[in-house]
Amino acid sequence: MNKNNLMNTYSRVDVTFEKGLGSKVYDINGKEYIDFVSGVAVNCLGHSHPTIIKALNEQSNNLIHISNLYWNTNQLELAQKLCNYSDHDKVFFCNSGTEAVEAAIKLARKYGINNGTSKKNEIIFMENSFHGRTMGALAITGQEKYQKDFMPLMSGVKSSKFNDIEDLKSKIDENTCAVIIEPIQGEGGIVPAEIDFLKEVKNLCEKYNALLIFDEIQCGIGRTGSLFAYEKFKVIPDVICMAKGLGGGFPIGAVLATQKASDAFTPGDHGSTFGGNPLGCSVSLAVLNELMDNGVVDKVDEKSEYIINNLSILKEKYEAVDKIQGMGLMLGIKLNIDKNKLISKCFEKGLLLVGAGENVVRILPPLNVSKEDIDKCLDILDKALSELCN
């Protein structure tokens, strides 16, 4: 197969996959891999889950796309379900995480204009954050390496130090329309926000009538052990950006908002051609049913504890392991060695992992991962670290 027709935008591993089942994927030569990348926290039910296959087959035989000029039953049902599961009132559907962030930016700007002056348009983001690669999302991403070749970016933004409330106090004012935060920084290295920090951020947003936006694109949809990450942190944001696990592999994103925030939008303010189409919503409904009604999310904390306990043993065993961090099934191994060495060694042994931040290796299995596959992952990690450290 010719690989020269794709734009050079990814540093790909030299492997081509053709099928998957559960927590496993198989390359074109038939080699089996344990997949603890999960499409970067997307495949929350693993590969080829029968619930997703059924939804795709049944809905594709019925109605795939109708546009948002009309209502469709799946979209209405999914919106109702997300609102019922959350503390929020309204949903906007799109296709991806970065699109959800773009919608949240526009909602925040419109909210600021409606509730202040034309100067109430500033958005504060956190250092070391990642919110996407479109120009708006890039402007509020706190990592220069993603931004430097695409300047100038959107104006009216400020950065603040993560988990540093005093720094935020020095930045927020009457011109702030929103503060956007990842409850757990993903690309930044699997770094959780401190609960007290988030509570103080919420208080500041209320003081200055600014929206609090949580980017739960990676950490949401059950990955922390609750459907929404904010439930673990006990802080209710005004707006939530979602995607990744929401479709279990099918592209769908969403913005969930309180009535106060959502009232800023009126017809014509925003839109998405494919957002909330019947096929995507059907798959998402099937995913939510499996996660919530069939108890997948309820078992995440137990699996997390098991993995963390065993990773802690590896930390004591190998000096290369500096720290275990994260929450639920969004975990990070902070290393004292080059993360890519461990990722490559595990790949050779049939385990897929992905890096984050400075020398952090992410552990992102499907939420329904079996204990058997967890043990296989831990065994490969043990062997790989042994070879790298000896």
What is the DSSP secondary structure assignment for residue 148, as one 8-state letter? G
What is the pLDDT, as a whole number, of residue 4? 87
Rounded Cα–Cα distance for residues 44 and 289 (Å): 12
Task: Dig out the tokens for 73 from the structure.
Answer: 């039953």
What is the pLDDT, as a whole number, of residue 266? 97
Rounded Cα–Cα distance for residues 129 and 356 (Å): 11
- Render pLDDT for 119-172 as a digit per residue (tens, 0 to 9): 999 999 999 999 999 999 999 999 999 999 999 999 999 999 999 999 999 999
Rounded Cα–Cα distance for residues 113 and 120 (Å): 6
SS3 call for 2 = coil
Amino acid at position 330, single letter: M
In total, the chain counts a number of residues equal to 390
Rounded Cα–Cα distance for residues 289 and 327 (Å): 23
What percentage of the chain carries pLDDT values higher than 70?
Answer: 100
What percentage of the chain carries pLDDT values higher than 90?
Answer: 96
Average pLDDT score over the chain: 97
Whether the predicted pLDDT of 97 surpasses 80: yes
CB 43 within 8 A of CB 366: yes
User: What CATH class is the domain 52-293?
Assistant: alpha beta
Query: How many CA atoms are closer than 13 Å to the CA of 129, on its beta-carbon side?
Result: 31
249 beta partners = none
- Residue 372's Cβ-count burial label (10 Å; 0-12, 13-18, 19+) is exposed
Q: Are strands 330-335 and 321-327 parallel, antiparallel or unpaired?
A: antiparallel
Closest CA to 23 of 4, 46, 42: 46
Rounded Cα–Cα distance for residues 250 and 47 (Å): 11
What is the pLDDT, as a whole number, of residue 390? 78
Whether the predicted pLDDT of 348 surpasses 90: yes
Which of residues 390 and 69 earns the better pLDDT score?
69
For residue 193, what pLDDT band results from cuts at 50, 70 and 90? very high
Rounded to an integer, the average pLDDT of 273-279 is 97
- Render pLDDT for 28-60 as a digit per residue (tens, 0 to 9): 999 999 999 999 999 999 999 999 999 999 999
What is the pLDDT, as a whole number, of residue 125? 98
Whether the predicted pLDDT of 200 surpasses 90: yes
What is the pLDDT, as a whole number, of residue 16? 93
- Residue 68's Cβ-count burial label (10 Å; 0-12, 13-18, 19+) is middle
Q: Is the peptide bond before 152 cis (omega within 30 degrees of 0)?
A: yes
Whether the predicted pLDDT of 3 surpasses 90: no
DSSP, residue by residue, 287-308:
HHIIIIIT-TGGGHHHHHHHHH
Whether the predicted pLDDT of 1 surpasses 80: no
What is the pLDDT, as a whole number, of residue 128? 95
What is the pLDDT, as a whole number, of residue 263? 97
- Of the chain, the end-to-end C-alpha distance in Å amounts to 39
Rounded Cα–Cα distance for residues 190 and 361 (Å): 9
CB 226 within 8 A of CB 234: no
Strands lying side by side in the sheet with 24-27: 17-21, 24-27, 32-35, 351-352
Please state the domain extents for the chain: 17-47+298-389, 52-293
Whether the predicted pLDDT of 367 surpasses 80: yes
Q: Are strands 239-242 and 211-215 parallel, antiparallel or unpaired?
A: parallel
Closest CA to 249 of 3, 33, 35: 35
361 beta partners = 333, 355
Rounded to an integer, the average pLDDT of 352-362 is 96
Closest CA to 74 of 310, 353, 280: 280
Rounded Cα–Cα distance for residues 360 and 304 (Å): 17
Amino acid at position 64, single letter: I
Amino acid at position 87, single letter: D
What is the pLDDT, as a whole number, of residue 242? 98
Whether the predicted pLDDT of 187 surpasses 80: yes
**Does the domain at residues 17-47+298-389 carry the CATH identifier 3.30.1600.10?**
no
